[in-house]
Amino acid sequence: MLSLVLVQCVVNYLYAKIVLSTVMKQGEDSTRTMYYWSSALTYFLAMVCSNMALQWVNYPTQVVGKSGKPIPVMVLGVLVGKKNYPLKKYFFVLMIVVGVALFMFKDGKTAGGDANAFFGFGELLLLLSLTMDGLTGAIQERMRAEHQTKSGHMMLNMNLWSIFYLLVAVLVSGEIFAFVNFVQNHPSIIWQICNFSVASALGQCFIFLMVSDFGPLPCSIVTTTRKFFTVLGSVLLFGNTLLPRQWVATLVVFFGLFLDAMYGKTADKKK
Ligand SMILES: Nc1ncnc2c1ncn2[C@@H]1O[C@H](COP(=O)(O)OP(=O)(O)O)[C@@H](O)[C@H]1O
């Protein structure tokens, strides 16, 4: 798990480096180093926790759990990131999150989950991952407010610090040796890891653009509804029918998004 995230961060870093020195020159960066090392810590821990959770909960549970992400991003953005939101914004965001979760939720017991435990270790890891996501967003809010940090610089430095933490982690835990062994025994995995990492870097470039230009909260609303649109699109594309619960959920999500777009603007934005 750690080695995979390490490879991912290395490719993200190289991608940011190339983009910054060619097509997207962004000038000097005045961001405090403290913001980079702290956000990198929470960023990589969020990824490791949500990947690790998959050993205890199944994939749909993980997606439903992580669809709550805008909530910690918003709450910690206010408590730690010094952001202000009008009260109605909390309601719109809650509406979107509840709608997405209601849409994705699968009744009954599914393979991979622990049927006996309502709240087990996997759920705890998801909660931890969400907290880390919230803290990452809060630190990014401060970077934006105090240094107007650009997307390329944020992507480059957060991945660089994460590489450092992950290198220490894989060496101390000895996981790197098991990883090299595994790759030697299954060389076909190299192609998959390359695909995965390049796709991740391409996607992350837009994530950071969204974070630096609009903020972590709009970014998490977009990535959360993206999950909803993926499932909705595939259901409609493959001619499957939506359950009544999912129709209600779809309406709730669209209504929440509409209200947020129309009336969710913050006081800062108006200024
Ligand atoms: N605010 C952010 N700062 C840096 N990277 C982010 C941020 N939000 C998302 N990402 C990156 O994008 C990936 C996908 O995010 P997302 O679509 O929200 O799904 P999830 O967090 O459930 O994996 C994350 O694993 C992370 O690498």
Determine the distance from the C-alpha atom of residue 124 to the mean position of all C-alpha atoms in its chain, rounded to a whole number: 17
Residue 116: is its pLDDT beyond 60? no
The predicted structure's pLDDT at residue 59: 77
Give per-residue pLDDT as tens, 43-84.
999 989 998 898 888 777 788 788 888 889 999 999 988 888
Task: Please give the mean pLDDT across all residues of the chain.
Answer: 87
Q: How many CB atoms lie within 10 A of CB 94?
A: 15
Distance 254 CA to ligand 1 centre (A): 22
Ligand 1 centroid distance, CA of 244 (Å): 30
DSSP letter assigned to residue 55? T
Distance 239 CA to ligand 1 centre (A): 30
At residue 261, the pLDDT reads 81
Global ipTM: 0.92
pLDDT at 140: 94
- With vertex at residue 152, the alpha carbon angle to CA 213 and CA 157, rounded to the nearest 5 degrees, is 120
Q: Which atom, in ligand 1's list, is nearest to the CA of 140?
A: 1
195: three-class secondary structure by DSSP = helix
Which of 21-25, 132-136, 140-144 has the lowest average pLDDT?
21-25
The pLDDT of residue 270 is 47
In the predicted model, what is the mean pLDDT of residues 114-119? 57
Taking the C-alpha atoms of residue 178 and residue 184, their distance in angstroms, rounded to an integer, is 10
Residues with CB under 6 A from ligand 1: 43, 47, 50, 66, 69, 136-137, 140, 204, 207, 211, 216, 219, 223
242: alpha, beta or left? (left if phi > 0; alpha if psi -120 to 50)? beta
Residue 226 CA to residue 231 CA, distance in Å, equals 9
- Give the domain ranges of the chain: 2-270
Q: Whose CA is nearest to atom 20 of ligand 1?
A: 66
Determine the average pLDDT of the residues in 247-251. Answer: 86
Distance 207 CA to ligand 1 centre (A): 7
pLDDT at 109 over 70: no
Q: What percent of the chain is predicted at pLDDT more than 70?
A: 93
Residue 267: pLDDT band with limits 50, 70, 90? low
Mutate to test the pocket of ligand 1, among 139, 140, 207 (most ligand atoms within 8 A of CB): 207
The pLDDT, as a whole number, for residue 108 is 55
- How many residues in the chain? 271
User: SS3 of 165, please?
Assistant: helix
- Closest ligand 1 atom number to CA of residue 62: 22
Average confidence (pLDDT) over 194-212: 93
How far lies 78's CA from each of 72, 91, 133, 135, 174, in Å? 10, 15, 14, 11, 39
The HSE-up count of residue 254 (CA atoms within 13 Å, CB side) is 8
Confidence of residue 111 (pLDDT cuts 50, 70, 90): very low
pLDDT at 9 over 90: yes
pLDDT tens-digit map of 211-232: 999 999 999 889 888 888 877 8
Q: Give phi and psi for 196, each to the nearest 5.
A: -60, -45
Average pLDDT over residues 108-122: 59
